[in-house]
Amino acid sequence: MRYTPLSKNFYQSARAKFQANMKPGCFALFCSNDTYPTGADGHLPFKQASDIFYYTGVDQEESILLMFPDAVNPAYREILFLKETSELIAIWEGAKLTKEQARERTGIPTIIWLKDFERTLRSVLAEAEGVYLNDNPHMRASVEVETREMRFSKWFRNEFPHYTIHRSAPISYGLRAVKHQEEIDQLQKAIDITRAGFERTLGFVQPGVMEYEIEAEYMHEFLRSGSRGFAYTPIIASGASACVLHYIENDKPCRDGDLLLMDVGAEYGNYCADMTRCIPVNGKFSDRQKQVYNAVLRVMKGAKSILKPGLMLSEYHVAVGELMTKELIELGLITTEDVKNQNPDWPAYKKYFMHGTSHFLGIDVHDVGHWHKPIEENQVFTVEPGIYIPSEQLGIRIENNIVIRDGGNIDLFKDFPTEVEEIEALMAR
> Would you kindly state where each structural domain of the chain is located, as residue ranges?
8-177, 181-427
pLDDT score of 362 more than 90: yes
Phi–psi pair at 351, nearest 5 degrees: -60, -30
Q: Quick one: average pLDDT of 122-144?
A: 90
Q: Quick one: average pLDDT of 254-270?
A: 98
Contact 70, 89 (CB under 8 A): no
Predicted local distance difference test score (pLDDT) of residue 170: 97
In angstroms, the Cα distances linking 65 to 32, 119, 145 are: 9, 15, 22
pLDDT category, 25, cuts 50, 70, 90? very high
Domain 8-177: CATH architecture, name and number where available: 3-Layer(aba) Sandwich (3.40)
Domain 181-427: CATH architecture, name and number where available: Alpha-Beta Complex (3.90)
Predicted local distance difference test score (pLDDT) of residue 61: 95
Question: pLDDT tens digits, residue range 368-385?
Answer: 999 999 999 999 999 999
Question: pLDDT tens digits, residue range 284-333?
Answer: 999 999 999 999 999 999 999 999 999 999 999 999 999 999 999 999 99
Predicted local distance difference test score (pLDDT) of residue 285: 98
Question: pLDDT tens digits, residue range 33-89?
Answer: 999 999 998 999 999 999 999 999 999 999 999 999 999 999 999 999 999 988 888
pLDDT score of 91 more than 90: no
Tell me how far apart the alpha carbons of residues 420 and 289 are, in angstroms, rounded to a whole number: 10
Predicted local distance difference test score (pLDDT) of residue 89: 83
pLDDT score of 129 more than 90: yes
Predicted local distance difference test score (pLDDT) of residue 139: 78
pLDDT score of 4 more than 90: yes
Cα 366 → chain centroid: 4
Question: pLDDT tens digits, residue range 383-415?
Answer: 999 999 999 999 999 999 999 999 999 999 998
239: left (phi over 0), alpha (psi -120 to 50) or beta: left
> Counting runs of H as helices and runs of E as strands, what totals does the chain give?
13, 18
pLDDT score of 210 more than 90: yes
| Three-class SS state of 410 | strand
Predicted local distance difference test score (pLDDT) of residue 142: 81
Predicted local distance difference test score (pLDDT) of residue 99: 96
Q: What does the mean pLDDT of the chain come to?
A: 96
Predicted local distance difference test score (pLDDT) of residue 95: 86
Tell me how far apart the alpha carbons of residues 220 and 341 are, in angstroms, rounded to a whole number: 50
Tell me how far apart the alpha carbons of residues 400 and 413 are, in angstroms, rounded to a whole number: 6
pLDDT category, 140, cuts 50, 70, 90? confident
Predicted local distance difference test score (pLDDT) of residue 253: 98
pLDDT score of 145 more than 90: no
Burial profile 85-106: b = 16 or more Cβ within 10 angstroms, e = fewer: eeeeeeeeeeebbebeebbebb
Predicted local distance difference test score (pLDDT) of residue 155: 97
Tell me how far apart the alpha carbons of residues 131 and 149 are, in angstroms, rounded to a whole number: 14
Q: Work out the end-to-end distance of the chain between its first and last CA atoms, rounded to an integer number of angstroms.
A: 36
From the list 112, 105, 82, 80, the residue with the least C-alpha distance to 95 is: 82
Predicted local distance difference test score (pLDDT) of residue 67: 98
Tell me how far apart the alpha carbons of residues 346 and 425 are, in angstroms, rounded to a whole number: 39
